[in-house]
Structure 1
Amino acid sequence: MDERADVIVVGLGPGGRHVAGALARAGLDVVGVEAEPVGGRSGAAGRVHRQAAHDGGGRPTTDDLAAQGVRLVRGTGRLAGTRRVVVDRSTFEARRGVVLATGARPRTADVAGLAATPYWIPRDVTAGRELPASLLVVGGGGTGVEIAQRFACAGSAVTLIEAGERLLPREEPETGQLAAAALRADGVDVLTGARVGRVEHDGVGFLAHVAGEQPVLDGERLLVATGRVVDLGGLGVDTVGLDPSALAVPTDGRMRAGAGLWAVGGITGRGGGARGLSHQAEIAVRDVLGRPGPDAGHWALPRIICTEPEIGAVGLTEQQARGLGVNVRAALAPIASPGCGEVAGGEGFVKLVEDTDRGVLVGATAAGPAGGEVLYGLQVAVHAEVPVARLQHMIHGDAAVHRAVEAALQALRRPGRG
Structure 2
Amino acid sequence: MTSFDAIFIGAGQAGPFLAARMAAAGRKVALIERKYLGGTCVNAGCMPTKTLVASARAAHVARRAGEYGVVVPGEIGIDMEAVRGRAEKVTLDARKGLATWFDSLDSMSVIYGQAKFENPNTVVVNGMRLTAPQVFINVGARPSIPDYPGLADVSYLTSTSIIQLAEVPRHLVVIGGSYIGLEFAQMYRRFGASVTILERGTRLASREDDDVSSAIADILQAEGIAVHTGVSGLSFRKTADDIAVTTNSGTMNASHVLIATGRRPNTDDLGLEEAGVETDDKGFIVVDNSLSTNVSGIWALGDCNGRGAFTHTSYNDFEIVAANLLDGCNRKLSDRILAYALYIDPPLGRVGMTERQARASGRQILVSTRPMSRVGRAVEKGETQGFMKLIADAETRQILGAAILGIEGDEAIHGIIDAMNARTPYPALQWSVPIHPTVSELVPTLIGDLR
- Tell me the matched-pair count: 409
Please tell me whether residue 205 in structure 1 is matched to residue 242 in structure 2: yes
Please tell me whether residue 156 in structure 1 is matched to residue 201 in structure 2: no
User: Contact 1:112/1:198 (CA < 8 Å) preserved in 2?
Assistant: yes
**Higher helix residue share:** 2
Map 1:34-73 to 2 at 5 A: 34-40=33-39, 41-43=43-45, 46-48=49-51, 57-60=93-96, 65-69=102-106, 70-73=108-111
Q: Could you tell me how far apart the structure 1 residues matched to 2:38 and 2:241 are?
A: 33
1:136 to 149, 152, 173: 173
Report the Cα offset of residue 307 of structure 1.
1.5
Please tell me whether residue 245 in structure 1 is matched to residue 253 in structure 2: no
Larger mean CA deviation between 387-396 and 303-312 belongs to 387-396
Match of 1:5 in 2: 4
Please tell me whether residue 346 in structure 1 is matched to residue 384 in structure 2: yes
Map 1:298-377 to 2 at 5 A: 299-324=336-361, 326-339=363-376, 342-377=380-415
Cα 1:312–1:63 change in 2 (3 A) is closer
User: Contact 1:230/1:267 (CA < 8 Å) preserved in 2?
Assistant: yes
Report the Cα offset of residue 194 of structure 1.
1.3
SS in 1 for 2:312: helix
Larger mean CA deviation between 300-309 and 288-297 belongs to 288-297
SS in 1 for 2:314: helix
User: Contact 2:139/2:266 (CA < 8 Å) preserved in 1?
Assistant: no
Match of 1:416 in 2: none
Identity %: 26
Cα 1:325–1:102 change in 2 (3 A) is farther
Cα 1:128–1:222 change in 2 (3 A) is closer
Q: CA RMSD in A?
A: 2.9
Match of 2:63 in 1: none
Report the Cα offset of residue 93 of structure 1.
1.8
Report the Cα offset of residue 377 of structure 1.
0.5
Map 1:247-326 to 2 at 5 A: 247-258=283-294, 259-271=296-308, 273-292=310-329, 294-296=331-333, 299-324=336-361, 326=363
Match for 1:240: what amino acid?
Answer: G
1:230 to 265, 280, 284: 265
Cα 1:403–1:29 change in 2 (3 A) is closer
Map 1:24-39 to 2 at 5 A: 24-39=23-38
User: Contact 2:303/2:310 (CA < 8 Å) preserved in 1?
Assistant: no
Cα 1:24–1:205 change in 2 (3 A) is farther
Match for 1:364: what amino acid?
Answer: A
User: Contact 2:44/2:160 (CA < 8 Å) preserved in 1?
Assistant: yes
Match of 2:129 in 1: 91
User: Contact 1:46/1:306 (CA < 8 Å) preserved in 2?
Assistant: no
Match of 1:218 in 2: 253
Q: Could you tell me how far apart the structure 2 residues matched to 1:20 and 1:14 are?
A: 11
User: Contact 1:335/1:400 (CA < 8 Å) preserved in 2?
Assistant: no
Larger mean CA deviation between 380-389 and 241-250 belongs to 241-250
CA deviations over 1:140-173 (Å, ceiling 9, x no partner): 1111111111111111001111111111111222
Please tell me whether residue 393 in structure 1 is matched to residue 445 in structure 2: no
Larger mean CA deviation between 338-347 and 265-274 belongs to 338-347
Which runs of 5 or more residues in structure 1 are unaligned?
414-418
User: Contact 1:349/1:404 (CA < 8 Å) preserved in 2?
Assistant: no
CA deviations over 1:242-301 (Å, ceiling 9, x no partner): 235355223344433342122211112233632332222233334343543744576423
Cα 1:281–1:257 change in 2 (3 A) is same
Larger mean CA deviation between 320-329 and 10-19 belongs to 320-329
Match for 1:242: what amino acid?
Answer: E
Q: Could you tell me how far apart the structure 2 residues matched to 1:373 and 1:200 are?
A: 43
Match of 2:71 in 1: none
Larger mean CA deviation between 109-118 and 82-91 belongs to 82-91
Please tell me whether residue 194 in structure 1 is matched to residue 231 in structure 2: yes
Report the Cα offset of residue 407 of structure 1.
3.8
2:449 to 394, 411, 416: 411
Cα 1:13–1:242 change in 2 (3 A) is same
Report the Cα offset of residue 54 of structure 1.
8.0
SS in 1 for 2:135: strand
Q: Could you tell me how far apart the structure 2 residues matched to 1:34 and 1:268 are?
A: 18
User: Contact 1:161/1:195 (CA < 8 Å) preserved in 2?
Assistant: no
Q: Could you tell me how far apart the structure 2 residues matched to 1:67 and 1:365 are?
A: 42
**Higher strand residue share:** 1
CA deviations over 1:47-77 (Å, ceiling 9, x no partner): 2368989878342476653443432334322
CA deviations over 1:104-156 (Å, ceiling 9, x no partner): 11111331121232211112222253211111111111111111111111110
SS in 1 for 2:136: strand
Cα 1:169–1:387 change in 2 (3 A) is same
Larger mean CA deviation between 315-324 and 218-227 belongs to 315-324
SS in 2 for 1:57: helix
Q: Could you tell me how far apart the structure 2 residues matched to 1:376 and 1:56 are?
A: 29
Cα 1:117–1:241 change in 2 (3 A) is same
Report the Cα offset of residue 359 of structure 1.
2.2
Match for 1:47: what amino acid?
Answer: K
User: Contact 1:48/1:126 (CA < 8 Å) preserved in 2?
Assistant: no
Task: Tell me the TM-score normalized by structure 1.
Answer: 0.87
Task: Tell me the TM-score normalized by structure 2.
Answer: 0.81
Which runs of 5 or more residues in structure 2 are unaligned?
55-86
Cα 1:288–1:47 change in 2 (3 A) is farther
SS in 1 for 2:350: strand
